[in-house]
Amino acid sequence: MSVTRRAALLALIAMTLLACPALAQNPNPFSLGGLEGLGGRPSSGFAAFILAKQAEFTRAMTAAARAMSTDPAAFWSLIGLGFAYGVFHAAGPGHGKAIIASYIIANENALKRGAGIAALAALLQGLVAIALVGVLALILQGTRQTLTASINWIESASYALIATFGFWLLWRKGRALLALMRGADDPACDHVHMPGPAEVARWSRREAAMAVLAAGLRPCTGAVLILIFTLSQSILPAGIAAVLSMSAGTALTTAGLAALAVYFKSFAVHVAAGRGRLGLWLVRGLEVLAALLVTLLGLALLMGHWASVGGS
Amino acid sequence: MGMRLWGWGYREGAAVRRHVFTLLMGAFAALAALVRPAAAHPHVFVAAKAEVIFDGSGNVIGINHVWTFDESYSAFATMGFPKGTDGKFDAAKLAELAKVNTESLSDFGYFTEAKAGGRKVEFAPPQNYRLEHNNNALTLFLTLPLKRPVPGRTLSLEVSDPTYFVAFSFDEAADAVVMARAPEGCKATIRRPKPEDLSSYSKLSDQIFSSLSGKEEVSSAFANRAVIACP
Protein backbone atom coordinates (compact mmCIF):
# COMPACT_ATOMS: atom_id res chain seq x y z
CA MET A 1 0.00 0.00 0.00
CA SER A 2 2.85 2.35 0.84
CA VAL A 3 4.15 1.98 -2.70
CA THR A 4 0.76 2.97 -4.00
CA ARG A 5 0.72 5.98 -1.74
CA ARG A 6 4.19 6.97 -2.79
CA ALA A 7 3.16 6.67 -6.41
CA ALA A 8 0.07 8.75 -5.77
CA LEU A 9 2.23 11.39 -4.11
CA LEU A 10 4.57 11.37 -7.09
CA ALA A 11 1.62 11.94 -9.39
CA LEU A 12 0.44 14.78 -7.19
CA ILE A 13 3.88 16.41 -7.30
CA ALA A 14 3.92 16.02 -11.07
CA MET A 15 0.53 17.70 -11.33
CA THR A 16 1.61 20.53 -9.06
CA LEU A 17 4.72 21.10 -11.14
CA LEU A 18 2.44 21.20 -14.13
CA ALA A 19 0.04 23.75 -12.75
CA CYS A 20 2.16 26.01 -10.55
CA PRO A 21 4.43 27.86 -12.96
CA ALA A 22 1.40 28.48 -15.11
CA LEU A 23 -0.49 30.16 -12.29
CA ALA A 24 2.33 32.27 -10.93
CA GLN A 25 2.72 34.48 -13.96
CA ASN A 26 2.99 38.26 -13.80
CA PRO A 27 3.24 40.71 -16.65
CA ASN A 28 6.86 41.67 -17.14
CA PRO A 29 7.57 45.35 -17.99
CA PHE A 30 9.32 44.22 -21.16
CA SER A 31 6.83 41.47 -21.80
CA LEU A 32 6.08 40.36 -25.29
CA GLY A 33 2.49 40.00 -24.17
CA GLY A 34 2.35 36.29 -23.54
CA LEU A 35 4.49 35.70 -26.60
CA GLU A 36 7.38 34.37 -24.59
CA GLY A 37 5.55 31.50 -22.98
CA LEU A 38 6.25 30.89 -19.34
CA GLY A 39 9.39 32.12 -17.70
CA GLY A 40 11.55 30.76 -14.98
CA ARG A 41 15.21 30.12 -14.56
CA PRO A 42 16.29 26.78 -15.96
CA SER A 43 16.39 24.25 -13.17
CA SER A 44 19.34 22.21 -14.35
CA GLY A 45 22.56 22.49 -16.25
CA PHE A 46 21.19 20.61 -19.22
CA ALA A 47 18.11 22.81 -19.51
CA ALA A 48 20.31 25.87 -19.10
CA PHE A 49 22.55 24.65 -21.90
CA ILE A 50 19.59 24.21 -24.26
CA LEU A 51 18.23 27.62 -23.31
CA ALA A 52 21.60 29.30 -23.72
CA LYS A 53 21.93 27.73 -27.19
CA GLN A 54 18.45 28.90 -28.18
CA ALA A 55 19.17 32.40 -26.99
CA GLU A 56 22.39 32.32 -29.01
CA PHE A 57 20.55 31.25 -32.17
CA THR A 58 17.93 33.96 -31.64
CA ARG A 59 20.58 36.63 -31.44
CA ALA A 60 22.58 35.19 -34.32
CA MET A 61 19.46 35.21 -36.51
CA THR A 62 18.89 38.89 -35.77
CA ALA A 63 22.53 39.59 -36.58
CA ALA A 64 22.31 37.65 -39.86
CA ALA A 65 19.13 39.49 -40.87
CA ARG A 66 20.81 42.82 -40.17
CA ALA A 67 23.93 41.81 -42.09
CA MET A 68 21.80 41.15 -45.18
CA SER A 69 21.67 44.86 -45.98
CA THR A 70 25.42 44.84 -46.75
CA ASP A 71 26.02 41.16 -47.48
CA PRO A 72 23.27 39.30 -49.39
CA ALA A 73 24.98 35.97 -48.62
CA ALA A 74 23.93 36.43 -44.98
CA PHE A 75 20.53 35.22 -46.18
CA TRP A 76 21.90 31.68 -46.19
CA SER A 77 23.19 31.97 -42.63
CA LEU A 78 19.75 33.22 -41.66
CA ILE A 79 18.15 30.14 -43.24
CA GLY A 80 20.67 27.78 -41.64
CA LEU A 81 20.31 29.41 -38.23
CA GLY A 82 16.53 29.22 -38.54
CA PHE A 83 16.78 25.50 -39.15
CA ALA A 84 19.17 25.00 -36.21
CA TYR A 85 16.93 27.09 -33.97
CA GLY A 86 13.97 24.93 -34.96
CA VAL A 87 15.85 21.72 -34.12
CA PHE A 88 17.02 23.06 -30.76
CA HIS A 89 13.80 24.77 -29.84
CA ALA A 90 11.88 21.55 -30.33
CA ALA A 91 14.34 19.66 -28.11
CA GLY A 92 13.23 21.57 -25.03
CA PRO A 93 10.04 20.85 -23.14
CA GLY A 94 6.88 22.21 -24.67
CA HIS A 95 3.20 21.58 -24.78
CA GLY A 96 3.04 20.79 -28.49
CA LYS A 97 5.30 17.78 -28.14
CA ALA A 98 3.46 16.60 -25.06
CA ILE A 99 0.16 16.69 -26.91
CA ILE A 100 1.53 14.75 -29.84
CA ALA A 101 3.29 12.19 -27.63
CA SER A 102 0.21 11.74 -25.47
CA TYR A 103 -2.04 11.47 -28.50
CA ILE A 104 0.18 8.78 -29.96
CA ILE A 105 0.33 6.89 -26.68
CA ALA A 106 -3.44 7.12 -26.35
CA ASN A 107 -3.89 5.73 -29.85
CA GLU A 108 -2.30 3.00 -31.82
CA ASN A 109 -0.59 4.92 -34.56
CA ALA A 110 1.59 3.91 -37.40
CA LEU A 111 5.06 5.43 -37.46
CA LYS A 112 4.39 7.41 -40.64
CA ARG A 113 1.18 8.85 -39.25
CA GLY A 114 2.73 9.89 -35.96
CA ALA A 115 5.66 11.59 -37.67
CA GLY A 116 3.31 13.18 -40.20
CA ILE A 117 1.16 14.70 -37.45
CA ALA A 118 4.25 16.14 -35.75
CA ALA A 119 5.58 17.60 -38.99
CA LEU A 120 2.22 19.15 -39.92
CA ALA A 121 1.95 20.74 -36.46
CA ALA A 122 5.41 22.29 -36.90
CA LEU A 123 4.47 23.66 -40.32
CA LEU A 124 1.20 25.03 -38.99
CA GLN A 125 3.08 26.90 -36.25
CA GLY A 126 5.22 28.64 -38.84
CA LEU A 127 2.28 29.45 -41.10
CA VAL A 128 0.27 30.94 -38.23
CA ALA A 129 3.20 33.23 -37.37
CA ILE A 130 3.57 34.30 -41.01
CA ALA A 131 -0.16 34.94 -41.45
CA LEU A 132 -0.34 36.85 -38.18
CA VAL A 133 2.56 39.20 -38.85
CA GLY A 134 1.65 39.49 -42.54
CA VAL A 135 -1.91 40.57 -41.87
CA LEU A 136 -1.46 42.57 -38.65
CA ALA A 137 1.85 44.31 -39.13
CA LEU A 138 2.22 44.56 -42.89
CA ILE A 139 -1.37 45.09 -44.03
CA LEU A 140 -3.07 46.63 -40.99
CA GLN A 141 0.03 48.52 -39.73
CA GLY A 142 -0.84 47.41 -36.22
CA THR A 143 1.14 48.13 -33.07
CA ARG A 144 2.53 45.69 -30.55
CA GLN A 145 -0.75 45.98 -28.62
CA THR A 146 -2.84 44.70 -31.53
CA LEU A 147 -0.30 41.95 -32.13
CA THR A 148 -0.23 40.78 -28.52
CA ALA A 149 -4.03 41.00 -28.29
CA SER A 150 -4.31 38.72 -31.31
CA ILE A 151 -1.75 36.35 -29.93
CA ASN A 152 -3.59 36.25 -26.61
CA TRP A 153 -6.73 35.36 -28.49
CA ILE A 154 -5.00 32.60 -30.43
CA GLU A 155 -3.46 31.30 -27.21
CA SER A 156 -6.82 31.13 -25.44
CA ALA A 157 -8.30 29.29 -28.40
CA SER A 158 -5.38 26.90 -28.62
CA TYR A 159 -5.40 26.07 -24.91
CA ALA A 160 -9.17 25.59 -24.92
CA LEU A 161 -8.71 23.30 -27.90
CA ILE A 162 -6.07 21.29 -26.02
CA ALA A 163 -8.40 20.87 -23.03
CA THR A 164 -11.31 19.89 -25.30
CA PHE A 165 -9.13 17.43 -27.15
CA GLY A 166 -7.99 16.01 -23.80
CA PHE A 167 -11.57 15.60 -22.60
CA TRP A 168 -12.50 13.91 -25.84
CA LEU A 169 -9.59 11.46 -25.56
CA LEU A 170 -10.36 10.93 -21.88
CA TRP A 171 -13.97 10.16 -22.61
CA ARG A 172 -13.08 7.65 -25.31
CA LYS A 173 -10.24 6.00 -23.42
CA GLY A 174 -12.06 6.13 -20.10
CA ARG A 175 -14.96 4.24 -21.63
CA ALA A 176 -12.61 1.52 -22.81
CA LEU A 177 -11.14 1.29 -19.31
CA LEU A 178 -14.59 1.18 -17.72
CA ALA A 179 -15.60 -1.59 -20.09
CA LEU A 180 -12.55 -3.51 -18.94
CA MET A 181 -13.47 -2.87 -15.29
CA ARG A 182 -16.95 -4.20 -15.86
CA GLY A 183 -15.31 -7.42 -16.90
CA ALA A 184 -15.36 -7.33 -20.66
CA ASP A 185 -12.68 -9.98 -21.08
CA ASP A 186 -12.16 -9.63 -24.77
CA PRO A 187 -10.71 -6.30 -25.85
CA ALA A 188 -12.63 -6.64 -29.11
CA CYS A 189 -15.83 -6.65 -27.08
CA ASP A 190 -15.31 -2.97 -26.53
CA HIS A 191 -15.54 -2.39 -30.24
CA VAL A 192 -18.80 -4.24 -30.73
CA HIS A 193 -20.86 -1.12 -30.13
CA MET A 194 -18.47 1.02 -32.12
CA PRO A 195 -19.17 2.19 -35.66
CA GLY A 196 -17.84 0.40 -38.73
CA PRO A 197 -14.26 0.63 -40.01
CA ALA A 198 -14.97 3.44 -42.49
CA GLU A 199 -16.41 5.60 -39.79
CA VAL A 200 -13.58 4.75 -37.42
CA ALA A 201 -11.09 5.84 -40.08
CA ARG A 202 -12.95 9.11 -40.57
CA TRP A 203 -12.96 9.74 -36.83
CA SER A 204 -9.28 9.02 -36.48
CA ARG A 205 -8.54 11.44 -39.34
CA ARG A 206 -10.52 14.09 -37.49
CA GLU A 207 -8.69 13.26 -34.31
CA ALA A 208 -5.34 13.55 -36.04
CA ALA A 209 -6.37 16.93 -37.46
CA MET A 210 -7.37 18.02 -33.98
CA ALA A 211 -3.98 16.92 -32.63
CA VAL A 212 -2.24 18.99 -35.32
CA LEU A 213 -4.37 22.05 -34.51
CA ALA A 214 -3.98 21.66 -30.74
CA ALA A 215 -0.21 21.29 -31.01
CA GLY A 216 0.48 23.82 -33.74
CA LEU A 217 -1.98 26.68 -33.42
CA ARG A 218 0.10 28.81 -31.07
CA PRO A 219 2.84 30.56 -33.04
CA CYS A 220 6.43 30.29 -31.87
CA THR A 221 7.86 33.45 -30.32
CA GLY A 222 11.17 33.22 -32.13
CA ALA A 223 9.29 33.08 -35.42
CA VAL A 224 7.12 36.11 -34.67
CA LEU A 225 10.12 38.12 -33.50
CA ILE A 226 12.27 37.41 -36.54
CA LEU A 227 9.32 38.28 -38.80
CA ILE A 228 8.82 41.61 -37.06
CA PHE A 229 12.51 42.38 -37.15
CA THR A 230 12.88 41.54 -40.86
CA LEU A 231 9.75 43.60 -41.53
CA SER A 232 11.32 46.57 -39.74
CA GLN A 233 14.39 46.12 -41.98
CA SER A 234 12.16 45.85 -45.09
CA ILE A 235 13.30 42.29 -45.79
CA LEU A 236 10.16 40.39 -44.73
CA PRO A 237 10.51 37.71 -47.47
CA ALA A 238 13.82 36.67 -45.90
CA GLY A 239 12.07 36.43 -42.54
CA ILE A 240 9.35 34.25 -44.04
CA ALA A 241 11.96 31.94 -45.55
CA ALA A 242 13.73 31.75 -42.18
CA VAL A 243 10.48 30.84 -40.43
CA LEU A 244 9.74 28.07 -42.93
CA SER A 245 13.25 26.77 -42.39
CA MET A 246 12.62 26.94 -38.65
CA SER A 247 9.46 24.87 -39.12
CA ALA A 248 11.45 22.27 -41.04
CA GLY A 249 13.96 22.03 -38.18
CA THR A 250 11.18 21.74 -35.61
CA ALA A 251 9.45 19.10 -37.73
CA LEU A 252 12.64 17.03 -37.78
CA THR A 253 12.93 16.94 -33.99
CA THR A 254 9.25 16.51 -33.21
CA ALA A 255 8.87 13.77 -35.82
CA GLY A 256 11.73 11.99 -34.08
CA LEU A 257 10.00 12.40 -30.72
CA ALA A 258 6.76 11.17 -32.26
CA ALA A 259 8.60 8.11 -33.55
CA LEU A 260 9.87 7.48 -30.01
CA ALA A 261 6.30 7.68 -28.72
CA VAL A 262 5.14 5.25 -31.39
CA TYR A 263 7.90 2.81 -30.42
CA PHE A 264 7.10 3.24 -26.74
CA LYS A 265 3.45 2.46 -27.37
CA SER A 266 4.12 -0.58 -29.51
CA PHE A 267 6.62 -1.77 -26.90
CA ALA A 268 3.98 -1.41 -24.19
CA VAL A 269 1.45 -3.25 -26.34
CA HIS A 270 4.02 -5.96 -27.06
CA VAL A 271 4.84 -6.37 -23.36
CA ALA A 272 1.14 -6.47 -22.57
CA ALA A 273 0.33 -9.01 -25.27
CA GLY A 274 1.34 -12.14 -23.40
CA ARG A 275 -0.08 -11.11 -20.07
CA GLY A 276 -3.82 -11.40 -20.37
CA ARG A 277 -5.86 -9.06 -18.20
CA LEU A 278 -2.84 -7.50 -16.58
CA GLY A 279 -1.57 -6.45 -19.99
CA LEU A 280 -4.92 -5.01 -20.93
CA TRP A 281 -4.96 -3.02 -17.72
CA LEU A 282 -1.52 -1.71 -18.47
CA VAL A 283 -2.36 -0.56 -21.99
CA ARG A 284 -5.77 0.90 -21.15
CA GLY A 285 -4.40 2.57 -18.04
CA LEU A 286 -1.56 4.11 -19.99
CA GLU A 287 -3.99 5.44 -22.58
CA VAL A 288 -6.22 6.99 -19.94
CA LEU A 289 -3.23 8.61 -18.23
CA ALA A 290 -2.03 10.07 -21.51
CA ALA A 291 -5.51 11.46 -22.16
CA LEU A 292 -5.67 12.80 -18.59
CA LEU A 293 -2.35 14.52 -19.10
CA VAL A 294 -3.56 16.34 -22.23
CA THR A 295 -6.65 17.47 -20.33
CA LEU A 296 -4.71 18.70 -17.30
CA LEU A 297 -2.18 20.41 -19.54
CA GLY A 298 -4.90 22.23 -21.45
CA LEU A 299 -6.62 23.32 -18.24
CA ALA A 300 -3.37 24.43 -16.58
CA LEU A 301 -2.35 26.44 -19.64
CA LEU A 302 -5.79 27.98 -19.93
CA MET A 303 -5.90 28.96 -16.25
CA GLY A 304 -2.39 30.34 -16.35
CA HIS A 305 -3.24 32.29 -19.46
CA TRP A 306 -6.38 33.78 -17.91
CA ALA A 307 -4.46 34.67 -14.77
CA SER A 308 -1.80 36.50 -16.76
CA VAL A 309 -4.13 38.22 -19.21
CA GLY A 310 -6.39 39.31 -16.38
CA GLY A 311 -3.42 40.86 -14.63
CA SER A 312 -2.01 42.83 -17.53
CA MET B 1 -10.49 -1.62 -4.95
CA GLY B 2 -11.74 -5.16 -4.55
CA MET B 3 -10.05 -8.29 -5.77
CA ARG B 4 -12.87 -9.16 -8.09
CA LEU B 5 -12.52 -5.94 -9.96
CA TRP B 6 -8.88 -6.56 -10.69
CA GLY B 7 -9.66 -10.10 -11.65
CA TRP B 8 -6.58 -12.12 -10.82
CA GLY B 9 -5.52 -14.31 -7.92
CA TYR B 10 -4.86 -12.54 -4.63
CA ARG B 11 -1.33 -13.84 -4.01
CA GLU B 12 0.23 -12.60 -7.23
CA GLY B 13 -2.37 -9.86 -7.43
CA ALA B 14 -0.96 -7.63 -4.71
CA ALA B 15 2.58 -7.68 -6.09
CA VAL B 16 1.53 -7.30 -9.71
CA ARG B 17 -0.86 -4.51 -8.83
CA ARG B 18 1.97 -2.59 -7.22
CA HIS B 19 4.13 -3.05 -10.28
CA VAL B 20 1.45 -1.86 -12.66
CA PHE B 21 0.68 1.12 -10.50
CA THR B 22 4.32 2.13 -10.14
CA LEU B 23 4.87 1.72 -13.87
CA LEU B 24 1.86 3.81 -14.77
CA MET B 25 2.76 6.54 -12.32
CA GLY B 26 6.31 6.53 -13.60
CA ALA B 27 5.08 6.99 -17.14
CA PHE B 28 2.77 9.75 -15.96
CA ALA B 29 5.57 11.56 -14.12
CA ALA B 30 7.84 11.30 -17.18
CA LEU B 31 5.15 12.75 -19.42
CA ALA B 32 4.36 15.47 -16.91
CA ALA B 33 8.04 16.41 -16.78
CA LEU B 34 8.06 16.68 -20.56
CA VAL B 35 5.23 19.17 -20.58
CA ARG B 36 6.16 21.20 -17.50
CA PRO B 37 5.95 24.63 -19.07
CA ALA B 38 8.91 26.09 -17.18
CA ALA B 39 12.12 27.59 -18.45
CA ALA B 40 11.31 29.48 -21.60
CA HIS B 41 14.52 30.90 -22.96
CA PRO B 42 14.80 34.66 -22.76
CA HIS B 43 13.64 36.52 -25.84
CA VAL B 44 14.64 39.93 -24.58
CA PHE B 45 18.29 40.85 -24.10
CA VAL B 46 19.52 43.91 -22.31
CA ALA B 47 23.04 45.30 -22.27
CA ALA B 48 23.09 47.21 -19.00
CA LYS B 49 25.19 50.08 -17.78
CA ALA B 50 25.00 51.50 -14.30
CA GLU B 51 26.28 54.58 -12.54
CA VAL B 52 26.38 54.40 -8.77
CA ILE B 53 25.71 57.86 -7.39
CA PHE B 54 27.44 58.96 -4.17
CA ASP B 55 26.53 62.05 -2.14
CA GLY B 56 30.11 63.31 -1.83
CA SER B 57 30.61 62.03 1.70
CA GLY B 58 30.84 58.31 1.01
CA ASN B 59 27.15 57.44 0.96
CA VAL B 60 25.31 55.93 -2.00
CA ILE B 61 22.09 57.77 -2.85
CA GLY B 62 20.98 56.21 -6.13
CA ILE B 63 21.71 54.37 -9.34
CA ASN B 64 21.50 55.58 -12.90
CA HIS B 65 20.49 52.71 -15.17
CA VAL B 66 21.06 52.64 -18.92
CA TRP B 67 19.48 49.60 -20.52
CA THR B 68 19.93 48.95 -24.22
CA PHE B 69 17.54 46.38 -25.67
CA ASP B 70 18.35 44.00 -28.47
CA GLU B 71 17.24 44.97 -31.96
CA SER B 72 14.60 42.29 -32.18
CA TYR B 73 12.79 43.42 -29.02
CA SER B 74 13.26 47.04 -30.07
CA ALA B 75 11.53 46.31 -33.40
CA PHE B 76 8.71 44.60 -31.54
CA ALA B 77 8.26 47.39 -28.99
CA THR B 78 8.21 50.13 -31.64
CA MET B 79 5.99 48.24 -34.07
CA GLY B 80 3.64 50.61 -35.89
CA PHE B 81 5.15 53.76 -34.29
CA PRO B 82 4.85 56.73 -36.63
CA LYS B 83 8.13 58.13 -37.93
CA GLY B 84 8.96 61.77 -38.49
CA THR B 85 10.52 63.21 -41.65
CA ASP B 86 13.96 62.69 -40.07
CA GLY B 87 13.29 58.95 -39.90
CA LYS B 88 13.11 59.05 -36.09
CA PHE B 89 10.24 57.61 -34.10
CA ASP B 90 7.58 59.95 -32.76
CA ALA B 91 8.89 61.36 -29.45
CA ALA B 92 5.49 61.24 -27.75
CA LYS B 93 5.17 57.53 -28.53
CA LEU B 94 8.60 56.81 -27.09
CA ALA B 95 7.82 58.86 -23.97
CA GLU B 96 4.58 56.96 -23.49
CA LEU B 97 6.39 53.62 -23.82
CA ALA B 98 9.08 54.75 -21.36
CA LYS B 99 6.38 55.65 -18.85
CA VAL B 100 4.60 52.29 -19.19
CA ASN B 101 7.86 50.36 -18.93
CA THR B 102 9.19 52.28 -15.95
CA GLU B 103 5.97 52.28 -13.98
CA SER B 104 5.60 48.52 -14.13
CA LEU B 105 9.18 48.02 -12.96
CA SER B 106 8.16 48.27 -9.29
CA ASP B 107 6.42 44.88 -9.50
CA PHE B 108 9.78 43.38 -10.40
CA GLY B 109 11.93 45.15 -7.82
CA TYR B 110 13.28 47.34 -10.64
CA PHE B 111 15.33 44.29 -11.69
CA THR B 112 17.86 45.68 -9.27
CA GLU B 113 19.16 44.19 -6.07
CA ALA B 114 21.71 46.08 -4.05
CA LYS B 115 23.29 45.14 -0.76
CA ALA B 116 25.34 47.54 1.33
CA GLY B 117 27.53 45.73 3.84
CA GLY B 118 25.43 42.62 3.24
CA ARG B 119 22.16 44.38 3.97
CA LYS B 120 19.47 44.81 1.31
CA VAL B 121 18.94 48.36 0.07
CA GLU B 122 15.47 49.77 -0.56
CA PHE B 123 14.60 51.85 -3.62
CA ALA B 124 12.20 54.72 -4.24
CA PRO B 125 10.22 54.92 -7.52
CA PRO B 126 12.35 55.71 -10.62
CA GLN B 127 12.85 59.26 -11.85
CA ASN B 128 14.05 60.99 -15.04
CA TYR B 129 13.14 58.11 -17.30
CA ARG B 130 13.27 58.31 -21.09
CA LEU B 131 13.68 56.08 -24.13
CA GLU B 132 16.00 56.69 -27.04
CA HIS B 133 16.09 54.85 -30.34
CA ASN B 134 19.44 54.64 -32.12
CA ASN B 135 20.81 52.12 -34.62
CA ASN B 136 17.70 49.93 -34.41
CA ALA B 137 17.99 49.65 -30.62
CA LEU B 138 15.93 51.14 -27.81
CA THR B 139 17.74 52.44 -24.75
CA LEU B 140 15.94 53.12 -21.48
CA PHE B 141 17.48 55.67 -19.12
CA LEU B 142 16.26 55.92 -15.54
CA THR B 143 17.42 57.03 -12.11
CA LEU B 144 16.66 54.76 -9.22
CA PRO B 145 16.97 56.70 -5.94
CA LEU B 146 17.62 54.89 -2.66
CA LYS B 147 14.98 55.36 0.03
CA ARG B 148 17.75 56.16 2.50
CA PRO B 149 21.43 56.83 1.74
CA VAL B 150 23.69 53.93 2.70
CA PRO B 151 27.43 53.82 3.33
CA GLY B 152 29.11 52.76 0.10
CA ARG B 153 32.12 50.92 1.50
CA THR B 154 31.03 47.57 0.08
CA LEU B 155 28.09 47.59 -2.24
CA SER B 156 26.98 44.69 -4.39
CA LEU B 157 24.71 45.53 -7.28
CA GLU B 158 22.82 42.89 -9.21
CA VAL B 159 20.82 43.76 -12.32
CA SER B 160 18.79 40.78 -13.46
CA ASP B 161 15.33 39.41 -14.05
CA PRO B 162 14.61 36.56 -11.62
CA THR B 163 11.93 35.23 -13.98
CA TYR B 164 14.51 35.09 -16.78
CA PHE B 165 12.19 36.64 -19.38
CA VAL B 166 14.78 39.32 -19.86
CA ALA B 167 18.46 38.38 -19.98
CA PHE B 168 20.41 41.25 -18.41
CA SER B 169 24.13 41.42 -18.87
CA PHE B 170 26.43 44.31 -18.10
CA ASP B 171 27.72 45.92 -21.27
CA GLU B 172 31.07 44.61 -22.48
CA ALA B 173 32.50 48.12 -22.41
CA ALA B 174 34.93 48.99 -19.63
CA ASP B 175 32.64 51.77 -18.41
CA ALA B 176 29.64 49.47 -17.85
CA VAL B 177 29.66 50.22 -14.13
CA VAL B 178 30.95 53.61 -13.05
CA MET B 179 30.66 55.85 -10.00
CA ALA B 180 29.75 59.50 -9.58
CA ARG B 181 31.19 61.60 -6.73
CA ALA B 182 32.71 58.50 -5.18
CA PRO B 183 35.48 58.79 -2.59
CA GLU B 184 39.06 58.39 -3.76
CA GLY B 185 40.12 54.80 -4.41
CA CYS B 186 36.72 53.14 -4.93
CA LYS B 187 36.74 50.25 -7.36
CA ALA B 188 34.01 48.48 -9.33
CA THR B 189 34.37 44.82 -10.28
CA ILE B 190 31.94 43.26 -12.75
CA ARG B 191 30.84 39.65 -12.93
CA ARG B 192 28.72 38.91 -15.98
CA PRO B 193 26.39 35.88 -16.34
CA LYS B 194 27.88 32.75 -17.91
CA PRO B 195 25.07 30.28 -18.53
CA GLU B 196 27.31 28.23 -20.83
CA ASP B 197 29.37 27.21 -17.78
CA LEU B 198 26.42 25.19 -16.64
CA SER B 199 26.63 22.59 -19.36
CA SER B 200 29.79 21.16 -17.80
CA TYR B 201 27.94 19.65 -14.88
CA SER B 202 24.75 18.79 -16.68
CA LYS B 203 23.10 15.51 -15.88
CA LEU B 204 20.05 14.30 -17.72
CA SER B 205 18.50 12.93 -14.56
CA ASP B 206 18.74 16.39 -13.07
CA GLN B 207 16.26 17.67 -15.52
CA ILE B 208 13.20 15.99 -14.10
CA PHE B 209 13.47 16.55 -10.39
CA SER B 210 16.06 19.20 -9.73
CA SER B 211 13.47 21.96 -9.74
CA LEU B 212 12.26 20.51 -6.45
CA SER B 213 15.53 21.33 -4.77
CA GLY B 214 16.50 24.57 -6.53
CA LYS B 215 20.20 24.56 -7.29
CA GLU B 216 22.32 27.41 -6.06
CA GLU B 217 24.99 26.98 -8.74
CA VAL B 218 22.37 27.37 -11.44
CA SER B 219 21.23 30.76 -10.25
CA SER B 220 24.75 32.03 -9.61
CA ALA B 221 25.68 31.32 -13.21
CA PHE B 222 22.96 33.77 -14.24
CA ALA B 223 24.04 36.46 -11.84
CA ASN B 224 24.87 39.78 -13.41
CA ARG B 225 26.68 41.50 -10.60
CA ALA B 226 29.02 44.34 -9.81
CA VAL B 227 30.80 44.92 -6.55
CA ILE B 228 31.85 48.39 -5.41
CA ALA B 229 34.58 48.47 -2.83
CA CYS B 230 35.87 51.65 -1.19
CA PRO B 231 38.89 51.96 1.09
Judged by CB atoms within 8 Å, which residues 70-99 of A form the interface with B?
92-95, 97-98
Residues of A within 8 A of B29 (CB-CB) are 10-11, 13-14
- Give the least confident one: A140-149, A272-281, B78-87, B214-223: B214-223
Residues A279 and B23: their CA atoms lie apart, in Å, by: 12
Distance from CA of B103 to the nearest CA of A (A): 8
Q: Give residue-wise pLDDT tens across range A202-251.
A: 667 888 888 888 888 888 888 888 899 999 888 899 999 999 999 999 88
Contact A55 B221 (CB under 8 A): no
Tell me whether residues A144 and B79 touch, CB distance under 8 A: yes
Q: Quick one: which of A131, A93, A99 has its CA closest to A118?
A: A99
Least reliable range by pLDDT among A18-22, A194-198, B118-122: A18-22
CA-nearest residue to A101 within chain B is B31
Q: Does the beta-carbon distance from A44 to B81 stay under 8 Å? A: no
Best of A44, A225, A233 to disrupt the B interface by mutation (most B CBs within 10 Å)? A44
Give the pLDDT of residue B14: 58
Tell me, yes or no, if A133 comes closer than 8 A to chain B by beta carbon: no
- The residues, ordered by sequence, that sit 6+ positions from A27 with a Cβ below 8 Å of its Cβ are A308, A311, A312, B104, B107
Would the ipTM clear 0.85, i.e. be above it?
no
Inter-chain CB proximity A146 and B16 less than 8 Å: no
Q: Is there a contact between B76 and A40 if contact means CB atoms under 8 Å apart?
A: no
User: B31 vs A37: CB contact, 8 Å cut-off?
Assistant: no
**How far apart (Å, rounded) are the C-alpha atoms in residues B118 and A269?**
60
**Would the pTM count as exceeding 0.80?**
no
Q: What is the pLDDT of residue A244?
A: 95
Q: Verify whether the Cβ–Cβ distance B40 to A37 is below 8 Å.
A: yes
Check pLDDT > 60 for residue B21: yes
CB A33 within 8 A of CB A152: yes
For B138-177, give one letter per residue: b (16+ CB within 10 A) or e: bbbbbebbbeebbebbebbbbbbbebbbbbbbbbeeeebb
Q: What are phi and psi of A21, to 5 degrees?
A: -60, -30
Report the C-alpha gap between B51 and B144 in whole angstroms. 10
Q: How confident is the model at residue B38 (pLDDT cuts 50, 70, 90)?
A: very low
